[in-house]
Amino acid sequence: MSTAVSQPLFDDQALPIVVMGVSGCGKTSVGQRLSEALQCRFIEGDSLHPPANIAKMSAGIALTDEDRWPWLDIIGGLIGEGTGRHERVILSCSALKKVYRDRLRAAAGGRLAFVFLEGSRAVLEERMKSRSGHFMPPALLESQLATLESPRGEPDVVTVDVDLPLAAIVERALAGLRELPLE
């Protein structure tokens, strides 16, 4: 796989990118690969959860909107800082609801790209069961899928099926990002 970008993505714009989707879709792996390809910083959104959120999820308790707002504000702050410095940053964040994505867009000054990693319940469940050391138990997949409001049709969203090898997912994400309008 060639991760080199042959032309500047978004010309001189340092458009931030959020790699989003339910747990188990591969946000971290894809985000890391995209950051390597685009030579920019990657921030793992799960590492920004407050301890209380991690404790809830570890116990199999789904987060509420009230649990998520402070976390989203931290992520939004990092997006805003990068935008203010004209630096591209890639973050992983589930961003399950449109209102969450709109909050992140506002933090970015309005424009923010999303790479939506979409997959079947069976693929996602298998991925969650096969990973070790993550606080999110497979039992919470159903609540994440129930909460998910698809971003299809929203501006600057690239959707990629996760039932592909990682290299192909990254290549499709990059191709989709290159096709986004410059303004």
* Structure confidence at residue 60 (pLDDT): 81
Segment among 9-13, 41-45, 138-142 with least mean pLDDT: 9-13
CATH of span 31-178: 3.40.50.300
Question: What is the per-residue pLDDT across 32-63, written as a single tens digit (0 to 9) for each?
Answer: 999 999 999 999 998 899 999 888 888 888 88
Q: What's the pTM value of the predicted model, to 2 decimals?
A: 0.86
Q: Taking residues 121-132, what's their average pLDDT?
A: 69
Rounded to whole angstroms, the Cα distance separating 77 from 79 reads 5
Segment among 18-32, 47-61, 62-76, 114-128 with least mean pLDDT: 114-128
Q: What DSSP line would sit under 81-139, residue for residue? A: HHHHTT--EEEE----SHHHHHHHHHHTTS--EEEEEE--HHHHHHHHHH--S-SS-GG
Domain spans of the chain, in order of start: 31-178
* Structure confidence at residue 169 (pLDDT): 96
